[in-house]
């Protein structure tokens, strides 16, 4: 590939940052976390290396998520994490990027959108555009969103659950709720604290969610077809000493069902506000599930029971957005212009 004409797609997710380079594939897929030296304000590390520092309080550095709950907490840190990552992918070649697509959560405001476009411009990339993650996810999952029919996407990520109705190449209706993977983790932490008098960390809660989460049907099982349990280790709130408890899939399901009640309400509200013709299309086209938490066992059946239409899980739920970037980068004439 001509290094003087690089085209790059970025999935700026709350949980993970993915970067695609046209002709080279997805070259970065790591947590959207950055560690900053408190004294110098310089970047220490990003991604997996920074995630290892989460919860390990230290007087010399801060560990930060630039996006929290689908909202930009610090635009300058987003700039830093992009510069650091792009320099890692192709050192001293940022100036060679000619086209940049940045996919963002639905909840980001117009002011934040303008700030992200200006961020691209500040890197010397005038052909910078932004696009909603639900639109890119649909494209990346193989949906022809430009056809004159309605499609629905439910993207359950780390910070938000986004709902979108798409038709004729655009998002007709979208809603978002700040209840998703990160919220599930905090609810698990709170449950263990109250019920088991044990304080666990975010990483432990996430492991519990991945192994034990389910919403309907059989509980998760191991290779021997036995119901899964997880030994959660942490600090006993009574004695203050290290301790562990066994968690089972049944109590985790109860937590998640409570979490999904407001998600269910927003799903129904989205369907109720969908224009009749497009709502009718959903009887055939159904609902597409994407995002990391779309893989929760029994979620497809749970949504199907609520919506009364077919529900499908994207074949690539974790990378659907960045896969959509590949297609957006090819739509040069339609998409690339200077927005700000």
pLDDT tens column, 179-196: 999 999 999 999 999 999
| Torsion from C-alpha of 261, 163, 279, 130, nearest 10 degrees | 170
Among 315, 327, 334, residue whose Cα is nearest residue 20: 327
56: Cβ contacts below 8 Å, ≥ 6 apart:
63
C-alpha distances out from residue 134 to 30, 50, 184, 290, 330, Å: 20, 27, 21, 8, 18
The dihedrals phi and psi of 91, each to the nearest 5 degrees, come to -50, 130
What pLDDT, in 10s, does the model give residues 294-307?
999 999 999 999 99
Overall pTM > 0.85: yes
C-alpha distances out from residue 171 to 162, 167, 252, 254, 278, Å: 12, 7, 34, 34, 12
Please, is 238 exposed, middle or buried when counting C-beta atoms within 10 Å of its C-beta (0-12, 13-18, 19+)? exposed
125 vs 265: CA distance, rounded Å: 41
52 vs 276: CA distance, rounded Å: 48
SS3 10: strand
What are the chain's domains? 6-137+320-335 (3.30.420.40), 142-314 (3.30.420.40)
- Which tokens is 171 given? 């998002």
Q: Which residue has the tokens 């304080």?
A: 199
C-alpha distances out from residue 260 to 126, 141, 206, 265, 304, Å: 41, 24, 17, 9, 14
What string of pLDDT tens digits covers the 340 residues of the chain? 444 688 999 998 888 999 999 989 999 999 999 999 988 989 999 999 998 888 776 788 899 888 877 777 788 888 899 989 988 888 777 878 889 999 988 777 888 889 899 989 988 888 999 999 999 999 999 999 999 999 999 999 998 999 999 999 999 999 999 999 999 999 999 999 999 999 999 889 999 999 999 999 999 998 888 999 999 999 999 999 999 999 999 999 999 999 999 999 999 999 999 999 999 999 999 999 999 999 999 999 999 999 999 999 999 999 999 999 999 988 755 554 434 3
């Amino acid at each position: 590939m001509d290094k003087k004409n690089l085209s790059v797609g970025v999935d700026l997710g709350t949980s993970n940052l993915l970067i695609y380079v046209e002709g080279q594939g997805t070259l970065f897929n790591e947590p959207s976390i950055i560690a900053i030296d408190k004294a110098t304000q310089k970047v220490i590390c990003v991604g997996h290396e920074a995630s290892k520092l989460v919860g390990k309080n230290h007087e010399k550095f801060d560990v930060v998520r630039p996006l929290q709950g689908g909202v930009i907490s610090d635009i300058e840190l987003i700039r830093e994490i992009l510069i650091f990552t792009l320099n890692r992918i192709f050192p001293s070649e940022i100036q060679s990027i000619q086209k940049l697509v940045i996919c963002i959560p639905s909840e980001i405001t117009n002011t934040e959108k303008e700030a992200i476009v200006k961020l691209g411009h500040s890197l010397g990339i005038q052909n910078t555009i932004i696009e909603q993650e639900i639109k890119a996810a649909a494209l990346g999952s193989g949906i022809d969103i430009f056809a004159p029919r309605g499609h629905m996407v439910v993207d359950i990520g780390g910070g938000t659950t986004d709902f979108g109705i798409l038709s004729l190449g655009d998002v007709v209706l979208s809603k978002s709720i700040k209840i998703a993977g990160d919220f599930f983790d905090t609810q698990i932490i709170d449950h263990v604290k109250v019920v088991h008098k044990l304080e666990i960390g975010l990483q432990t809660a996430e492991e519990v969610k991945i192994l034990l989460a389910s919403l309907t049907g059989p509980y998760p099982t191991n290779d021997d077809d036995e119901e899964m349990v997880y030994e959660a280790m942490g600090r006993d709130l009574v004695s203050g000493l290290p301790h562990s408890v066994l968690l089972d899939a049944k109590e985790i399901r109860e937590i998640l069902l409570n979490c999904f009640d407001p998600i269910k309400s927003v799903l129904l509200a989205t369907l109720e506000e969908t224009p009749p013709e497009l709502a009718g299309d959903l009887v055939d086209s159904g609902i597409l599930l994407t995002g990391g938490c779309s893989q929760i066992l029994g979620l497809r059946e749970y949504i199907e029971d609520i919506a009364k239409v077919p529900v499908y899980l994207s074949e690539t739920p974790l990378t659907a957005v960045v896969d959509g970037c590949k297609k957006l980068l090819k739509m040069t004439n339609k998409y690339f212009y200077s927005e700000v």
